[in-house]
Amino acid sequence: MEKKDDEKHLYFSTRDELIKVPLQEVIYFEADGNYSSIYFRNGLHAQVLASLTTIENLIKHSFLIARHQSKPVFIRIGRRFIVNIECIFQINIMKQKLVLSDFRSTCSYELNVPKEALKNLKNIYNPKQKQS
């Protein structure tokens, strides 16, 4: 069903279609039941029959194969999202909002994320400051 050819692309294949996912163009992945939605820098999005855990494992495996090349880095945020950390623009804990942008276009995405997950994410970027 899912396969990976190198660190640059994931392929999702069903009986009737094939979706090529260039990882460097992904802003985030979102869980949607048994499916996952994939949102790209150019505003396109696709839905694939794969759990977020499956996608997370495919991404991790692809990074193990080719460590020497530059590649996007993704982080799991709660149960619903995997985001490209290069696209994180704003973490707002009080509003439970994560804003993602590709910084090349006017396209941005606002995700509703639980406070605890946002606190953990903020601590990754700012580990010396304590959260109140």
Report the domain count for the chain.
1
We report the CATH number of the domain holding residue 119 as 2.40.50.1020
At 70, the pLDDT band (50, 70, 90 cuts) reads low
Is 127 exposed, middle or buried (CB count within 10 Å of its CB: 0-12, 13-18, 19+)? Answer: exposed
Q: Which is nearest to 126 in space by CA: 91, 95, 102?
A: 91
What is the span of the domain harbouring residue 103? 2-125
**CB-side neighbour CA atoms (13 Å) of 88:** 21
- Mean pLDDT (the chain) is 85
- 130 domain-assigned: no
- 106 domain-assigned: yes
- Note the pLDDT of residue 64: 55
- 72 domain-assigned: yes
pLDDT tens digit sequence for 48-68 = 999 999 999 998 877 655 454
- 54 domain-assigned: yes
